[in-house]
Structure 1
Amino acid sequence: MKKIIPLLIITPILDLYILIKASQAMGFWTTVALIILTAIAGYYLAKSEGKLVISKINRELSQGNMPGDDLLTGLCILIGGFFLLLPGIVTDIIGITMILPGTREMFKQYAKRKLEDRIRKGYTNIIIRW
């Protein structure tokens, strides 16, 4: 939580600064159009990637397997889609990297390391209910 709070403060400030500079360079309406287009493109990208992951999760579950990796993939797509809906260039870059399969892996590996760390230190209880 100590790392998230500064990010929640710095990211909008950085986004606002970049948007002002982009608006000065390209014009206000061009910048607004760019923001809207990235949100629309991000929505469709997240939707198509999300459908693929949901079908993989359903396939794994029907075979009796736990879809752990696919659940992390789905979480990355969900968070990435949220970032793409926020106006700003920094948030768009973060969102796109979380949705695209090639760059999404680094987020998944980071999440896996953090989860393993918390389990090893005893901070996380895993409860499986049937």
Structure 2
Amino acid sequence: MPVFMLFMLWPLVEIALFVTLGGALGLWFTLLVVLGTGILGIVILRRLGYRSAERLRVEMGRLHDPLGEAGNSLLVAIAAILLVLPGFLTDFIGALLLLPPVRAVVVSSLARRFGVHSMRSDQPARRSDGIVIDGEFVEIDPENSPKTTHPSGWTRH
């Protein structure tokens, strides 16, 4: 029921803000703000795709936890969508989500809420119990590898 109430109250708040702020700012400035934030949202969405994919690839290449960067990119996308939607409340929330400190607070609170322990992208990825497993591997060509009499079970022969 709270979600239903949110969907019922949100448009009413937006209409009230349009009437109140539109009366104070004037018609043309109100339209300019609504169109300007919509265009800003579209520009952010267009630039976000390639940049976030590249940042995720770099974080994974450096063996860092990509969840923080993924959460950050998702919040920027939500902010851009909110900016595209007409309304002062959606624009305000979208502008707040564009601020890095606000995104950091939202990402960390969501991580705590869903039980994710490592959400910082500046730290190497670790197991949840803190144990780091270090290892090396050698790729063996199956055609040129010597046949063992006791296969380990970890390789296909």
TM-score by structure 2 length? 0.63
Q: Does the Cα contact within 8 Å between 1:57 and 1:70 map onto a contact in 2?
A: yes
Task: Determine the structure 2 residue equivalent to 1:87.
Answer: 86
Task: Determine the structure 2 residue equivalent to 1:34.
Answer: 33
Task: Determine the structure 2 residue equivalent to 1:124.
Answer: none
CA-to-aligned-CA distance 1:29-81 (integer Å, 9 cap, x gap): 32111100111123334544665433221102233444111111111112111
Q: Does the Cα contact within 8 Å between 1:83 and 1:91 map onto a contact in 2?
A: yes
- In the TM superposition, 1:1-130 aligns within 5 A as 2-48=1-47, 51-116=50-115
Across the aligned residues of Structure 1 and Structure 2, the Cα RMSD in angstroms comes to: 2.3
Q: CA deviation at 1:94?
A: 0.7
Q: CA deviation at 1:9?
A: 2.2
Cα separation, partners in 2 of 1:40 and 1:15, compared to 1, 3 Å: same
CA distance in 2, matches of 1:106, 1:66: 17
Q: Percent identity?
A: 22
Task: Determine the structure 1 residue equivalent to 2:139.
Answer: none
| Unaligned residue ranges in structure 2 (runs of 5+) | 117-157
Aligned amino acid, residue 42 of structure 1: G
| Unaligned residue ranges in structure 1 (runs of 5+) | 118-130
Cα separation, partners in 2 of 1:3 and 1:79, compared to 1, 3 Å: farther
Q: How many aligned residue pairs are there? A: 116
SS of residue paired to 1:87: coil
Q: Does the Cα contact within 8 Å between 1:83 and 1:92 map onto a contact in 2?
A: yes
CA-to-aligned-CA distance 1:2-25 (integer Å, 9 cap, x gap): 543332222221111011112212
Aligned amino acid, residue 77 of structure 1: V
Q: Which has the higher helix share?
A: 1
CA distance in 2, matches of 1:7, 1:106: 23
SS of residue paired to 2:32: helix
Bigger Cα displacement from structure 2, 45-54 vs 71-80: 45-54
Aligned amino acid, residue 73 of structure 1: N
Q: Which structure: larger Rg?
A: 2
